């Protein structure tokens, strides 16, 4: 049996099933361009090369009930025949033109759309069933190639290979974040401890000025001087430094002598304790001698 005879028999069976439609019936769904990304749809390849065009690949998403449904759901516009309806696909996307094919009866064996199928990764096989008698498996390929001036057994296969491209690798993971946001950069200059402020100018260890006041801080209570023991100021009493003392650079000038703390402490004490004790001892000895002399005079007899 020739290919032409087999196609005629399929058309008769489709007519008996009552699945006729007039020419110019539009596609029922838009589909999507390119190969189906996975095995959930049917990829449809239409080869226009014999009509001076190229090869178009589109995807019919989801399961397809028939080969005709896959062709239309992939987004291709088709035209059947007046006699047999869509049981014979006469035109796809308006080709061949109305001038060369009237689409009244079955297209001739020298100019018709040949129907093919294939598994993903397999090879094209000429379909032995019509478009309404074939249910394409999910993930498979449906092919259409126009056969012009060919023998019945020499119809051209679709020009695109029935093979889905390999899936793209997943994108790299996003960098980690802290608290749902980007990681904040470290502060400039490092995070080390803050250096203490320098000591107040003056003698080593002297307290700096009291915040909110002017002038040098008072000397600590009970600080001994270099001249030895002396009177200890009472608790809480502060001895202000002498004018021009160390620690008060603003109170001195080049025309005034600098008075040190030792000299200031001696001037504040007055007469030393040793000198006062010597004077007191001399007074006591003098008074004692005077009293002794008077006693001797009182006991001596008169001549």
Q: How many CB atoms lie within 10 A of CB 235?
A: 7
- In this predicted structure, the answer to whether residue 209 has a pLDDT above a threshold of 80 is no
More confident residue, 288 or 133: 133
Helix, coil or strand: residue 57: strand
Q: How many CB atoms lie within 10 A of CB 7?
A: 21
- In this predicted structure, the answer to whether residue 240 has a pLDDT above a threshold of 90 is no
Residue among 72, 69, 100, 88 at smallest CA distance from 22: 88
String of b and e for 109-148 (b: at least 16 CB within 10 Å)? bebbbbbbbbebeeebeebeebbbbbebeeebbbbbbbbb
- CB–CB of 93/74 below 8 Å? no
- In this predicted structure, the answer to whether residue 20 has a pLDDT above a threshold of 60 is no
Choices 1.10.10.10, 2.10.109.10, 2.170.130.30, 3.40.50.1820: CATH for 3-148: 2.170.130.30
* pLDDT score of 293: 75
Phi-psi sector, 255: left (phi>0), alpha (psi -120 to 50), beta: alpha
* pLDDT score of 185: 59
* pLDDT score of 246: 41
Radius of gyration of the CA atoms of the chain, in A: 61
Only one residue has tokens 């999507």, namely 32
Percent over 90 (pLDDT), the chain: 42
* pLDDT score of 179: 61
Res. 183 pLDDT band, cuts 50 70 90:
low
Ordered DSSP codes for 136-161: PPTT-EEEEEEEES--TT-PPPPSS-
Highest-confidence segment of 155-169, 229-243, 273-287: 155-169
| 210 token code pair | 């009291």
Residue among 126, 161, 36, 46 at smallest CA distance from 93: 46
Res. 26 pLDDT band, cuts 50 70 90:
very low
User: Mean pLDDT throughout 3-24?
Assistant: 37
Highest-confidence segment of 112-116, 128-132, 173-177, 282-286: 112-116
Percent over 70 (pLDDT), the chain: 55
Only one residue has tokens 């379909």, namely 127
Res. 71 pLDDT band, cuts 50 70 90:
very high
More confident residue, 188 or 80: 80
More confident residue, 92 or 261: 92
* pLDDT score of 286: 81
Res. 22 pLDDT band, cuts 50 70 90:
very low
What's the chain's average pLDDT?
A: 72
Highest-confidence segment of 160-164, 193-197, 261-265: 160-164
Highest-confidence segment of 15-24, 28-37, 51-60: 51-60
């Amino acid at each position: 049996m020739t290919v032409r005879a087999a196609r005629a028999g399929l058309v008769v069976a489709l007519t008996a099933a009552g699945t006729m439609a007039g020419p110019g019936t539009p596609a029922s769904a838009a589909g999507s361009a390119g190969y189906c990304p996975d095995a959930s749809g049917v990829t449809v390849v239409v080869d226009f090369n014999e009509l001076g065009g190229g090869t178009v690949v589109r995807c019919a998403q989801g399961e397809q009930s028939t080969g005709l449904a896959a062709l239309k759901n992939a987004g291709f516009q088709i035209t059947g025949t007046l006699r047999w309806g869509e049981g014979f696909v006469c035109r796809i996307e308006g080709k061949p033109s109305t001038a060369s094919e009237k689409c009244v009866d079955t297209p001739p064996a020298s100019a018709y759309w040949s129907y093919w199928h294939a598994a993903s990764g397999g090879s094209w096989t000429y379909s032995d069933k019509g478009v309404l008698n074939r249910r394409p498996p999910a993930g498979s390929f449906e092919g259409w190639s126009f056969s012009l001036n060919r023998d019945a057994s020499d119809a051209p296969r679709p020009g695109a290979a029935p093979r889905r491209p390999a899936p793209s690798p997943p994108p790299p993971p996003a960098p980690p974040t802290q608290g749902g946001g980007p990681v904040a950069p470290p502060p400039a200059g490092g995070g080390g401890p803050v250096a203490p402020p320098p000591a107040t100018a003056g003698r080593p260890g002297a307290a700096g000025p009291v915040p909110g006041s002017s002038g040098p801080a008072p000397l600590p209570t009970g600080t001994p001087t270099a001249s030895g023991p002396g009177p200890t100021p009472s608790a809480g009493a502060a001895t202000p430094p002498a004018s021009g003392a160390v620690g008060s650079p603003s109170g001195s000038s080049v025309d005034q002598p600098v008075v040190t703390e030792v000299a200031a402490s001696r001037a504040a004490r007055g007469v030393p304790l040793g000198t006062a004790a010597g004077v007191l001892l001399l007074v006591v000895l003098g008074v004692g001698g005077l009293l002794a002399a008077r006693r001797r005079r009182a006991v001596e007899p008169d001549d």
